[in-house]
Amino acid sequence: MTYRKLCLLALVAGLALSACKRDAAPAAGPTVPEDETADQFIARVNDEIREMYPELTASQWLSSTYINDDSQLLAAKGNERWLTQLNAWIEQARRFEGQKMAPATARAINLLKLSTSMPAPKDPARLAELTRIATKMEGMYGSGAYCVGEGDAERCRQLGELEDVLRRSRDYDEQLDAWRGWHSIAQPMRKDYTRFVELVNEGAGDMGFADAGEMWRSGYDMSPAEIAAETDRLWGQVKPLYEQLHCYARTRLEAKYPDRGSVEGLLPAHLMGNMWQQDWSNLWDILEPYPNTGSLDITGALEAQYRAGLDKRLAALPGLPEAAERVEIERQAQVDSAIAMTRRAEDFYASLGMPKLPEKFWNRSQLIKPRDRDVVCHASAWPMDMTDDVRIKMCIQPNEEDFTTVYHELGHVYYYLAYEDQPPLFQSGAHDGFHEAIGDTIVLAMTPQYLSSIGLVDEQQQSQADLINSQMRMALAKVAFLPFGLMIDRWRWGVFDGSIAPDEYNRAWWDLKAQYQGVAPAVPRGEDFFDPGAKYHVPGNTPYTRYFLSHILQFQFYRALCDTSGYDGPLYDCSFYGDKAAGEKFWAMLGKGASQPWQQTLKELTGTETMDASAVLEYFAPLQDWLEDQNEGQACGWPAAAPVADAGANTESQ
């Protein structure tokens, strides 16, 4: 997985997502009728959004797939128009306060008020400043590169290449260099982000919220305090499982890197196989419980398929290709591989009775990284016209991480297709965690038996060793992510409410990573740095609690769909691939969008109105027992704060 997760400006909740929430900007609408009723007002707003949406999403798409000054200007102006119009709609809606109206209308007005993660000031100059900063930060992230050397000897690497180092290299210093290099790209964002916080807080205040964080927490059909407490409760359910996984990983890393495999009991940030330590799947060669049992090397299988496709294209040539011709052939083989991976994911959804993807998807999606321009490679899914122009934006490579990410992104796409008949203000997930959980529910059903059936792994034996390997493979993605899913917004909530001051941004970031993840940097990271900006969702202003909630909900959805399919066995062994009854129930849930409280939508699928991690614990019960045996005698746990240097102590200048 890549997590998957999302994009720059979540402007109309649910109208575009991704690993990524992406929204656009309607221009000013017609004159407001004086005698307009609340119902007529919402109907008009929905019509205006639908009419203007295709033109305005195009500017957002261009700003992510053709990063240059012109596309960023178009995107900033589009966002400016949208936020101006949104402020106007919210002001117009005030005249209906206290009036009786249809429940659906009342819900739509509330969703309208909460339909942006970037509340803008009413002052036009500050609103324009906000959109410029937001677009600038996304461009800085998308074009960010770590460069060494000078002149002709200069070598620059972007995120994908640096991630490959963490994915493949086991050289301690090489990994550290790649990790530090990527984090250096965020340093120039710090001043802009500080101003960004001031502006969105002003916008949230204009809407009646204490700060932007309180506004974010108001979008869950419960109070801001209740959703914060709910996430704490859910984390309390799964924390013991994460602690056992952390203890096991630390023991293996300490064996691999004597005297350097931990940082005072915390996991070294650069050794976790992932730039943000949110997914440990790339450490399979270190953490695999039983190496001599059935292979689960999905990356190796995908790479072999790519090489076979490349060899086939080369063999069709009459002779040896020139250098330029070979580059083009390799490019076509990469496209073939990306399409094949995406077709495989589409096949799973179609097997449930869902429609094939529209032809526009295949003609207009960005599946691999272009050679001629900077793009935002962070995976995202896009509804371009609120009907059948749906796309994904990725830079797919033949590895397990990207393979599962494709399944995840198509979950967003199928959500768009399912609720396209809803009014625009209801074209969203039941809450934002629902949108993130759809594709990951399918990933849970990608059991070893399923993977074997599509030729990616060997036929699996029903042994205890195979079971633990399979569980570990899933835990390195799912369980390892859980605390990361919490800490980003815990940091931002503190930034928004002022309890984390600008001169403490980096210290607070690493304190929270230590508290929740048990992770620390292996080198000093003082306030000269802005390490939060090295994670897309911070400069992209995408709320992150949704991802934590999705990692709870997906197991609830999965268990419910397994039950619907008639499966009777251990939860971890269920795949509902090809089951039309499960697909019909899933599709019905997706079609509700945001038209009703999420509690009702959850109950229709699972039978309960409460988010609950019991399905997570049921799924991983064999692994948790095994981990406890492996960790017996170990001093598990970690310090509550990261051992990082004070701001003035840092000497790095990458």
Catalytic residue positions?
378-379, 408-409, 412, 436, 537, 547
Return the SS3 of 390: strand
Structure tokens at 169: 């290299």
610 vs 268: CA distance, rounded Å: 36
Q: Are 214 and 119 a contacting pair, CB within 8 Å?
A: no
Alpha helix segments (H runs only) across 185-297: 190-206, 212-216, 224-256, 284-287
Q: CB neighbours of 533 closer than 8 A, spacing ≥ 6?
A: 137, 141, 185, 186, 187, 189, 190, 193, 539
Structure tokens at 486: 């919490």
Structure tokens at 220: 């869950």
Bridge partners of 390, per DSSP, are 383
Query: How far is C-alpha 124 from the geometric centre of its chain's CA atoms?
Result: 32
Query: How far is C-alpha 140 from the geometric centre of its chain's CA atoms?
Result: 19
Q: Where are the beta strands (DSSP E) in 332-394?
A: 380-383, 390-393
Other beta carbons within 10 Å of 44: 17
Return the SS3 of 269: helix
Q: What is the 3-state secondary structure (H, E, C) of 78-100?
A: HHHHHHHHHHHHHHHHHHHCCCC
Return the SS3 of 155: strand
Other beta carbons within 10 Å of 514: 25
178 vs 161: CA distance, rounded Å: 9
Provide φ and ψ at 266, rounded to 5°. Answer: -100, 155
Q: What is the 3-state secondary structure (H, E, C) of 293-319?
A: CCCCCHHHHHHHHHHHHHHHHHHCCCC
Bridge partners of 266, per DSSP, are 263
